[in-house]
Amino acid sequence: MIGVGIAIVSIIISGVALAMQAGLNDRIKALSSTTDGSTQQKAIEVGAPGNDPNEFWIFTQELNADEEAVGIPVAVYSLPEITVHKGDNVTIHFYNPAEEADDRHTFTMLAPYEMNHDLAGGENQTFSLTADKVGRYTYYCTYDLPSMIGQLEVLP
């Protein structure tokens, strides 16, 4: 008699567990299905503590290499990728920490985010843009192509 009772209780418990699992599956499906019926994994994004996700600091840097021996410019941006979302107001703090004033670098973009910030060594500038066009856009230094580039990615 007790054995039958235990069997009935465990059948009820596993039934409830199955129903909960089914409900959970429906919720996951609802979160990931799109209007055309295909499924899509939503990207997880994790920031750094106290960091505004739309504010970026970028330094110019001359690599420790013989530019003439290498044959192309050996300068880079400290941050070669910026990822934001459509509609974000993005702030960039751009620093050229070179000791010589004539070691110039630029942060330049073509349309639709057209801009050209040209800094002498020791200078910095803060500027903003509204990320209203989705896509990948290259930023580059007019003095150090083809190597001194980065990508602004604007996600939908």
Binding site for Cu ion (CB under 5 A): 75, 105, 141, 143-144, 148
Backbone angles phi, psi at 155, to 5 degrees: -85, 155
Residue nearest to Cu ion (CB): 141
Cβ of residue 120: shortest distance to Cu ion, in angstroms? 12
Cβ of residue 144: shortest distance to Cu ion, in angstroms? 3
Q: Which of 118, 80, 116, 79 is nearest to 102 (CA)?
A: 118
Instruction: Indicate the residue among 150 and 154 with the shorter CB distance to Cu ion.
Output: 150
Instruction: Indicate the residue among 95 and 144 with the shorter CB distance to Cu ion.
Output: 144
Sheet holding 75-77, edge to edge: 75-77, 55-62, 89-95, 124-130
Question: First and final CA of the chain: distance in angstroms?
Answer: 62
Instruction: Indicate the residue among 33 and 125 with the shorter CB distance to Cu ion.
Output: 125
Cβ of residue 96: shortest distance to Cu ion, in angstroms? 8
Q: Phi/psi zone of residue 9: left (φ > 0), alpha (ψ -120 to 50 degrees), beta?
A: alpha
Cβ of residue 53: shortest distance to Cu ion, in angstroms? 26
Cβ of residue 62: shortest distance to Cu ion, in angstroms? 8
Residues 6+ apart with CB under 8 A from 105: 60, 75, 96, 98, 118, 119, 141, 143, 144, 148
Instruction: Indicate the residue among 75 and 129 with the shorter CB distance to Cu ion.
Output: 75
Instruction: Indicate the residue among 24 and 70 with the shorter CB distance to Cu ion.
Output: 70
